[in-house]
Amino acid sequence: MVLVLVLVVVLAVLLAATALVVSTRSRRQRNAVAGSSASRPPTGTLLLEQQTAQPSPDTVDSDLRELAERDLAEGEAAEQLRAGRPALGDRLGKARQLLGGYLTGIRSKPVDGATFDELEEALLLADAGVTTTTKVLEDLRAKVRSGAVAGTPEALLAALRSDLEAIFDGDESAMSLGEDGGPTVWLFVGVNGVGKTTTIGKVAARELAEGRKVVLAAGDTFRAAAGEQLEAWAERTGATLVRGAEGADPSSVIFDAVAHAAARGSDLVLADTAGRLHTKVNLMEELRKVRRIADRPPGHLTEVLLVLDATTGQNGVVQAKQFRDAVGVTGVVLTKLDGTAKGGVVLAIRSELGLPIKLVGVGEGVADLVDFDPAEFVAALLG
Amino acid sequence: MFETLTDRFEGIVARLRSRGHLSDSDVSEVLREIRVALLEADVNLAVVKDLIEAIRSRCVGAELAKSLSPAQQVIKVVDEELTRILGGEPLKIRYASKPPTIVLLAGLQGAGKTTVAAKLARWFKQQGRQPLLVAADLQRPAAVEQLRILGRDVGATVFSETTDPVSVAREGVAEAERLGRDIVILDTAGRLAIDDALMAEVRAISEVTRPDYTLFVVDAMTGQDAVRTAEAFNEALALDGVILTKVDGDARGGAALSVKQVVGKPIAFISTGERPSDFETFYPDRLARRILGMGDVLSLIEKAEREYDSDVAEKATERLMSGQFSLDDFLEQLQQIKRIGPLQSMLGMLPGVPKDFRNAKIDDKDVGRIEAIIKSMTPDERRGAVALDGSRRSRIATGSGTSAAEVNNLLRQFKEMQKMVRTLGPVNRLVGGAGRKPHKGKQKGSRFTPSSRGAR
């Protein structure tokens, strides 16, 4: 508390000084930026008022759904869905061919310091981070020294693989559904551009294929055309869409969606949210509210899924921590793993923050979503 | 979460302090720390290796200036090396002699191409140009609609058709010629560098439109893969420059360094927020310091400039100097600062903050408690016009849901802080010199009206 006090004053003095220095400049520019300096549009606070003020929820009606189902039935996506969920390994062929043989070099040589250097390189290049890499390799060295792991390249790699897999021990990739009496709500959160909306589309297709009735809540009322994007997914998958006006309070849209789902006896509400950087205090505050409302009866919020781009570097840990602290993330969806990025940052996210990885996105198609599998993930990481 | 380079050096510094020059092993030790810092900042491993070698050759045996500690000098060398890589020739837009000048945006999914397209259109408009936005992303659902809305917001026409990306691009350029627009900005779909079909498509767009500038849009949060992706796009499209997005987060942005090093083309712009105006020219030295975790005061100043109400700040400073800084003013400052960002993250941006202080956890709940205590006081109490006796204090404690001890603590700390501030001579002079002049009229008023918050 003392610290806060001192810090605020120090900052106040510093900022006051800088603000003064720049105030002449900013005053000159003020006219130019006046229009753009407003933050996000004000959001409503009273739900009931919002409900009457908003246009009634758009609903994708049944013939659209039929249309979408027909489309789907003709596509290979439907076949894939019917044939069971695709495995991660199958989907990574292309990217891994390019990277293949990365560690083959060490297989043909006796184990020495250079072997560990190569392993270190592989892990660092996979975005595993310095801390995780160092720890994993130190453990491995100790095992070799104590004789628990034989000093052959094969034994070393096998031990490394099982150590990395062990990071995910005890995780359950299945997502939880609430008890009877009211729809289950899954909330999707994350920074901008990670693939939240696309992930929702794929999850919707998957859950519909399981025979659940799915409602999509267009809770991203900020980004231009985010609602339209989700609408396209609703049409493609045959899920029902509930959306509000652009700039509407996201909480109210999600509340409407839950109410709609409850009234129609739907099982599951997939709630989209606007992408936000974890450093934006106001937006994280808004997300807290969204989370509270999403859990309000008749809905049961059972999953808060952090969508994370596999190309993300070490900042992913910070993101995960901030979102976890703000809205209690229950699991991570790792997207865009079909590229050359290996998503090693989830090792740190799992080991440092304890967040399980649940799903993996491997493309833009409706079926490009697989359950997270530690063995496959690690094989791909080291492959 | 990340130790800054400065932290890492603290242990080494003590031993190096007495030396006149750095030995081989000193340098190696320091370089190991630099390596870790760079890797944590997501600088690509290969780039890190090159950099470390460059730094080593400059540090070994180098004579040390007296004014800096050896560690500081090494940091200086690192800083200079980073700035050198990030800098170089800036991208200077040369407009085509026969308009329109065509700009092609390409990158991975979710990098922020569509948002950047609109921001770039706004930027060109500010340069007195007339841009046409062409929505050639027919892949992602509603991407065209998104660009239409953003284009409307920045006042730029958007062209698109539901044909195929290549003909949209070709027709877009033709449309610009017909409308007499002198800039064409082509927004393309996000694509993976290993997606042969989509890479062939973007190559076809490039061949058909012959862009004057091909800009690679990359997320500042990208990790090690940034290099591979940038190389692939550079091979396919021959990039002219880079636009770094989402710089307003707290990622160190090492990817930018890697991309710059590998592609060898300048970083032209950075995108720093979701508003169309959050788009800036790139400064290599600032990013270098940020990668090093050395405290980015300039960014803090800019952030303050954007979010901080300078009138309120001026008034507060005047009151601070004249010893009239009240709890009311404090509360106001606290709220202003909270608008800029979490205290914890701002702490990281301040240079020269002692390690213990910087690494201390700041609990938002503490901040909330302080606010509650102050808000539970009457205006007179906040102004210090009445003495806070025991009964007032216990009322405040009850009102704010805290304890009498916490209230006492706050009051005591506040008093000490007031004393401390009065000793801040240099800041006072600096602020006094800059601030008084334009605000003569207000000075008097502010002395008598401690709370003019109603105005905001």
Tell me the mean pLDDT in the region A356-367: 94
Cβ-based neighbours of B370, under 8 Å, separated by 6 or more: A1, A4, A5, B334, B410
Contact A377, A88 (CB under 8 A): yes
Domain B5-86 - what CATH class? Answer: mainly alpha
Q: What is the ipTM of this complex?
A: 0.77
* Nearest-Cα residue of chain A relative to residue B431: A17
pTM of the entire predicted model: 0.74
**Contact: B141, A229; criterion CB under 8 Å:** yes
- Which residue, among B245, B293, B194, has the nearest Cα to A191 in the 3D structure? B245
Measured in angstroms, the CA of B252 and the nearest CA of chain A are apart by 8
For chain B, what is the largest distance between any 2 Cα atoms, rounded to a whole number of angstroms? 81
Residues A43, A45, A49, A51, Cα dihedral to 10°: 60
Question: What are the chain B neighbours of A36 within 8 Å (beta carbons)?
Answer: 275-277
Residue A316, pLDDT score: 96
Indicate whether A57 pLDDT > 70.
no
User: Cα(first)–Cα(last) distance of chain B, in Å?
Assistant: 36
**Contact: A13, B427; criterion CB under 8 Å:** yes
Cβ-based neighbours of B76, under 8 Å, separated by 6 or more: B68
Domain B302-455 - what CATH class? Answer: mainly alpha
What does CATH list as the number for B101-293? 3.40.50.300
Residue B448, pLDDT score: 30
* Nearest-Cα residue of chain A relative to residue B434: A21
Measured in angstroms, the CA of B134 and the nearest CA of chain A are apart by 16
Secondary structure tally for chain A: helices H, strands E? 17, 8
- Quick one: which H or E segment has residue B174? helix B165-179
Q: Grade residue A355 by pLDDT with cuts at 50, 70 and 90.
A: very high
According to DSSP, the β-strands at B183-188 and B157-159 are unpaired
Question: What are the chain B neighbours of A220 within 8 Å (beta carbons)?
Answer: none
Indicate whether A125 pLDDT > 80.
yes
Indicate whether A293 pLDDT > 70.
yes
Numbered ranges of CATH 1.20.120.140 in chain B: 5-86
A188-209 exposure pattern, b = at least 16 Cβ within 10 A, e = fewer: bbbbbbbbbbbbbbbbbbbbbb
Contact B110, A339 (CB under 8 A): no
pLDDT digits (tens, 9 = 90+) for A96-116: 554 445 566 677 778 888 889
Numbered ranges of CATH 1.10.260.30 in chain B: 302-455
Q: Grade residue A55 by pLDDT with cuts at 50, 70 and 90.
A: very low
Contact A96, A380 (CB under 8 A): yes
HEC-encoded secondary structure of B194-235: CCHHHHHHHHHHHHHHCCCEEEEEEECCECCCHHHHHHHHHH
- Quick one: which H or E segment has residue B300? helix B297-307
Between CA A41 and CA B341 the distance in angstroms is: 19
Between CA B147 and CA A214 the distance in angstroms is: 29
Residue B433, pLDDT score: 36
Of A3-17, A226-240, A347-361, which gets the smallest average pLDDT?
A: A3-17
**Contact: B225, A342; criterion CB under 8 Å:** yes
More reliable by pLDDT, A125 or A41? A125
Contact A269, A185 (CB under 8 A): yes
Q: Tell me how far the alpha carbon of residue B26 is from its chain's centroid.
A: 33
Residue A274, pLDDT score: 96
Question: What are the chain A neighbours of B367 within 8 Å (beta carbons)?
Answer: 4, 8
Measured in angstroms, the CA of B49 and the nearest CA of chain A are apart by 11
Q: Which domains does chain A have, with CATH numbers?
A: 47-85+174-376 (3.40.50.300), 89-166 (1.20.120.140)
pLDDT digits (tens, 9 = 90+) for A229-285: 999 999 999 999 999 887 889 999 999 999 999 999 999 999 999 999 998 888 999
pLDDT means per 10 residues, chain B with 456 residues, are 50 56 74 86 92 85 58 75 83 91 97 96 95 96 95 95 95 96 97 93 96 96 94 95 90 88 91 88 80 62 62 71 78 76 63 56 73 89 84 90 87 78 52 35 32 34
Structure tokens at B349: 């941006």
Give the one of B39, B228, B427 whose C-beta lies nearest to A17's C-beta: B427
Between CA B393 and CA B114 the distance in angstroms is: 56
Measured in angstroms, the CA of B54 and the nearest CA of chain A are apart by 20
Numbered ranges of CATH 3.40.50.300 in chain B: 101-293
Structure tokens at A209: 């294929």
- Quick one: which H or E segment has residue B319? helix B310-321
